[in-house]
Amino acid sequence: MIKENEEKVKYLTQLEMKKVFKVIEKDNSIHALRNLAIFRVAYRCALRASELGLIHLDDYNKTRGEMYCHRLKGSNNNTIRLDQETIKILNKYIRQNEICDNQQVLFLSQEKKPISRKMLDVLMKKYCHLAKISDIEKYHFHTLKHTAAVHLAESEIDIKELQYYLGHKSVTNTLIYFQFTTKQQETMYAKLQKNNQMV
């Protein structure tokens, strides 16, 4: 039996992620801005679908550009600083939808209920298809969490930093994202060449 952390992680490459964001930006549906804010926040904060539905307006510190993340499945809650593009889109979404009640759920469905996991998966399938992502096994919203984690690992942050970012209680759960990608291999060989420790 394969353990969960031994399974191959499905994630979008950086190029694929850029393509997904691009097709959402071109979407002219009534919920396009909401969807872009959802995908930007989920990716930046490495959120599960069920965690995204827990975000209220008062979890977002507009002054500091930070999001308080309620983590599930035994993970630690934490605060993640958003990038400028995500802040800009999120602020625009909040302003256009006149969200002002601190207790209001941030991302709502047409029925004004917290957006469901099912709908998030529908949106992921739609945008991956439009972005021409070839591997349909990536067409799940949870892929965004894996994508963020792998991209962070590729950015050369250390494992304890990534553990905090993802809210993992055990560093063992974080190790899966440090499988050797091409970039990590090149970094390793550069260190070996520089230090010349092998005979």
Confirm if 37 and 45 have CB atoms less than 8 A apart.
no
Residue 121 neighbours by CB distance under 10 Å: 16
User: In this structure, is residue 180 part of a structural domain?
Assistant: yes
Domain tally, the chain = 1
Tens-digit pLDDT profile for residues 52-107: 999 999 999 999 999 999 999 999 999 999 999 999 999 999 999 999 999 999 99
User: In this structure, is residue 106 part of a structural domain?
Assistant: yes
User: In this structure, is residue 126 part of a structural domain?
Assistant: yes
* Cα–Cα distance measured from residue 196 to residue 60, given in angstroms and rounded to the nearest whole number: 48
Q: What is the pLDDT of residue 1?
A: 32
Q: State the chain's mean pLDDT as an integer.
A: 90
Confirm if 174 and 168 have CB atoms less than 8 A apart.
yes
CATH number where 150 lies: 1.10.443.10
Domain hosting 159: range is 11-195
Q: What is the pLDDT of residue 90?
A: 98
Q: What is the pLDDT of residue 182?
A: 63
Radius of gyration of the chain (CA): 18
User: In this structure, is residue 5 part of a structural domain?
Assistant: no
Whether pLDDT at 194 is above 90: no
Whether pLDDT at 180 is above 60: no
Q: What is the pTM of this model?
A: 0.88
Give the strand order in the sheet containing 66-69. Answer: 60-61, 66-69, 78-81
The band of 144, judged by pLDDT with boundaries at 50, 70 and 90, is very high
User: In this structure, is residue 55 part of a structural domain?
Assistant: yes
Whether pLDDT at 150 is above 80: yes
User: In this structure, is residue 47 part of a structural domain?
Assistant: yes
Q: What is the pLDDT of residue 60?
A: 98
Whether pLDDT at 15 is above 50: yes
Whether pLDDT at 13 is above 60: yes
User: In this structure, is residue 2 part of a structural domain?
Assistant: no
User: In this structure, is residue 3 part of a structural domain?
Assistant: no
Q: What is the pLDDT of residue 161?
A: 94
Higher pLDDT, 187 or 142: 142
The band of 149, judged by pLDDT with boundaries at 50, 70 and 90, is very high
Work out the average pLDDT over 3-31: 86
Q: What is the pLDDT of residue 136?
A: 95
The band of 4, judged by pLDDT with boundaries at 50, 70 and 90, is very low
The band of 196, judged by pLDDT with boundaries at 50, 70 and 90, is low
